Structure 1
């Protein structure tokens, strides 16, 4: 087997232990020694770190590369910032299962979030079917995948908004059980997304009991993240109390009254006091990003995206949609969904004639079309068949820094990859290390590395990754702690970070300075079995 030595390294091992000087030996894809290593052995490859930092590969616990991983051997924005493992299947709306009868509508339902492609199959019977499709691509990164609640509900109930019957619940439990046995890392849901939004709390309790049986986490985008966030947390507390499931809160945020974050933290502590593990992830930016279709009330999506488009094309139905967007406080916040058009930007579209709107806020889109912003938005969704991405500014630096120092939190990108993306796609991890750890001194570099590696691995149950220890897989990043920083901006997001010198995946170099070895084929699908 291939034998590699890394020497002259400043080792941040991911455990929060103080950094130390030494070397690392890798045999095949596995770390066999860390610290004082012999220099006289016959190594196939010797990498001189030159005193730079060496840490575990970064783990993106909230990735939206679900479609791109089926068409590309390397996800450049991720690997170039040091991400070696991505967790797919987020927000309850992903790629498996997708029944043939719903494939076209599902493709349009998630196109604004996970992207679109004519090069792939849109029918997957199981998560194992999807895993095998990823493996055929011979990727340069590692991928785990959650079992998405929305896909499970789709397979049993289609786009119905009805409560699940006992028979339907048994079918959903059976599908989830199979997906977890096939290696899914946990259960995800997105309670603002179709069709997850239609589920009642007891549906989630029953599914979480299945996840608990396998000790897999419940990874949740809450029903509400603004004025009703504490009610959303109460729902999670009920689910955890009744099921005993491990809880992981997706992209921790408060979009309304930011002082409520302190009540949010107390709720997290109360849930943990039930005797379960509570974790969360976060991206280090004051804006979020999702699909524009999430701004449309849930009732308008009933029956699928084809019915949504019919309603958008019908003048009477459109007026009802418009009225509900403007006055409905039951959904994901008026802060995110009504009058703040100048803080909501189009990030991606599919059709060439709509590219002029990418990077424009809804006020500008309205001016360009001579319409009210809300009408211009609905016209764009109709023309694009719902496949529109958005970026929305909603919070402050003070709030996100308070999230960062919470012991429950690790970093993630939550990055949508198409169009003019959110800069978090390219810059999340170097930004966290460079801006918040080094420049702002919010925490030590050791703590920051922990929150990008072992903390993330532990949250997702990735037992053989996340730290530089004997027996762990050799996913590593060599970086300059004095210069690592993000470069991507909202104005020019497609810029690679600085300070990343080398990235190894399973012992194989994929990134060396600005060179990427796209045919390294060293990645793997991580099945939790």
Structure 2
């Protein structure tokens, strides 16, 4: 007898093929039946012609610390996410060294959602073990951040590592991979990644490549130098010998709009030549990052404390403001957002009066110049302020979305209670289904589901996930295709989506009629070659 039978389903199985009517039988956490019959079951749920799809897989997330305060990761659960990958953009919760623990703790402040963590762990394996103690609702995977590895060895030093330092970084990557990391991530607009040569990155990635890992990269540039940055990412993958995952692919800055045709052509060329490269994307025209990221890289050398000291020095402040106003030889987010009116303050715990306002609006309120106010906010919040940057065009978003090698990743960054955030943390997956499938018809329903399920599952080597087929894990989402959609906005970023009815993780019901059940069947997933 089955544990559960989902009846009268419109099955979208993850392959990209046409949906079909049928029933789905679940036993001991696995899908054991897909077809027209109704085998006996201890419990049956009539889904009344709703869509049943594989649970969504968020391949790019920043929930590394969320589970310690919200083990269910409720914003993701409400969207139908059943598995997510953290440790992205070069920033992971481990490894940690005693010498630079405080540096990493402060640097990761903007993804800690205002909570204090024990930091009992030091190794990547210890961090995963800490997660395993929690009552997780979803499955959690992680990559090891190259930035965190470098911080553990040499802090925020803006220099080439010594042979001994490089060897130690390789050891930490190897240890992290052996403990279950799915690969190495980089964030090359952020310190310390921005200080690294291509050659250093290749060498640091080699131990991950030898263990079947993936190179997940937030490239060195996503605006005026994007093609060169993409070439670098492809080179790292080729020379290290590993697959490449281009993170949150976008085209930033009005002068560069339309360039997605060129970037995707470059991807096509690499794939035609046999290189394993795929991409992910979130469905918005604004990005989100730390407010410190709007500053030039040299201003951040040496870590958060060194940055704060520079912001207190009037002469250095003038140089920083001049760089923001005029320079484009780095990822100048203010310039490519069209000015301070394109930078929205989302989280600034020490200066909450500015949250939800653009820097220009906040500056008018404060009676200050926008650049001065932005630096003051970074200083007052000790680097732990966050922002949204409006720098993309909808045509590029749609063009990228249509590409068959592009999957969905939220890049969701949690916000402290009461603070603003980017709506992608709460809205990414329903937004694809509601806005881009039902309303805009950019994707078919079947193709959208493939991009959220089978495509990321195959990329991660999770061959028991991402498809509705006998023998697969019973990670499933049930949604109404007529009502599913996002409600989160830049002013109400935590609003729950509509139309997500049921979510199952390992056959256990974790969302029932849109409400979390409190069940915790989630597991920490460890990569095994």
TM norm structure 1 = 0.95
Distance 1:259 1:396 in 2: 8
Question: Who is 1:150 aligned against?
Answer: 147
Distance 2:397 2:271 in 1: 21
**156, 159, 162: which one aligns with 2:159:** 162
Q: Deviations over 1:206-229 (max 9, x none)?
A: 123222222221000011111111
Is the partner of 1:175 in helix, strand or coil?
Answer: helix
CA contact (8 A) 1:224 1:333 kept: no
* Residue 462 (str. 1) matches residue 447 (str. 2): no
CA contact (8 A) 2:223 2:336 kept: no
After superposition, the CA RMSD in angstroms is 1.7
Distance 1:221 1:500 in 2: 30
CA contact (8 A) 2:79 2:430 kept: yes
CA contact (8 A) 1:225 1:333 kept: no
Distance 2:13 2:479 in 1: 13
Distance 2:58 2:51 in 1: 20
Question: Who is 2:80 aligned against?
Answer: 82
CA contact (8 A) 1:152 1:176 kept: yes
Cα 1:289–1:265 change in 2 (3 A) is same
Distance 1:293 1:307 in 2: 12
Question: Who is 2:23 aligned against?
Answer: 23
Distance 1:83 1:339 in 2: 34
Question: Who is 2:340 aligned against?
Answer: 341
Question: Who is 1:433 aligned against?
Answer: 433
CA deviation after TM superposition for structure 1 residue 411, in Å? 0.8
CA contact (8 A) 2:121 2:130 kept: no
Aligned length: 523
Question: Who is 2:414 aligned against?
Answer: 417
Mind listing any 5+ residue stretches in structure 2 that lack a counterpart? none
Distance 1:321 1:113 in 2: 25
Is the partner of 1:316 in helix, strand or coil?
Answer: helix
Question: Who is 1:371 aligned against?
Answer: 368
Cα 1:349–1:123 change in 2 (3 A) is farther
Question: Who is 2:188 aligned against?
Answer: 191
Cα 1:371–1:123 change in 2 (3 A) is farther
Distance 1:462 1:174 in 2: 26
CA deviation after TM superposition for structure 1 residue 383, in Å? 0.6
The equivalences for 1:351-430 within 5 A come to: 351=350, 354-418=351-415, 419-430=419-430
CA deviation after TM superposition for structure 1 residue 395, in Å? 1.5
Is the partner of 2:259 in helix, strand or coil?
Answer: helix
Moved more, 370-379 or 321-330: 321-330
CA contact (8 A) 2:202 2:236 kept: yes
Moved more, 19-28 or 104-113: 104-113
Distance 2:334 2:341 in 1: 12
Is the partner of 1:90 in helix, strand or coil?
Answer: coil
Moved more, 159-168 or 6-15: 159-168
Distance 1:250 1:339 in 2: 23
CA deviation after TM superposition for structure 1 residue 38, in Å? 3.9
Is the partner of 1:44 in helix, strand or coil?
Answer: strand
Distance 1:116 1:163 in 2: 33
Question: Who is 1:205 aligned against?
Answer: 202
Cα 1:400–1:437 change in 2 (3 A) is same
Distance 1:474 1:166 in 2: 47
Question: Who is 1:267 aligned against?
Answer: 266
Distance 1:156 1:360 in 2: 38
CA contact (8 A) 2:188 2:219 kept: yes
Question: Who is 2:522 aligned against?
Answer: 523
Question: Who is 1:312 aligned against?
Answer: 311
* Residue 239 (str. 1) matches residue 240 (str. 2): no
Cα 1:337–1:386 change in 2 (3 A) is farther
* Residue 289 (str. 1) matches residue 288 (str. 2): yes
Distance 2:457 2:110 in 1: 28
Question: Who is 1:137 aligned against?
Answer: 134
Distance 1:303 1:37 in 2: 64
Distance 1:294 1:336 in 2: 12
CA deviation after TM superposition for structure 1 residue 366, in Å? 1.0
Is the partner of 1:470 in helix, strand or coil?
Answer: coil
CA deviation after TM superposition for structure 1 residue 49, in Å? 1.1
Q: Deviations over 1:279-337 (max 9, x none)?
A: 11101111111111111222222221111111111212222222222222221135556
Q: Deviations over 1:256-299 (max 9, x none)?
A: 31122111112212322342211111011111111111112222
CA contact (8 A) 1:423 1:488 kept: yes
TM norm structure 2 = 0.95
CA contact (8 A) 1:188 1:220 kept: yes
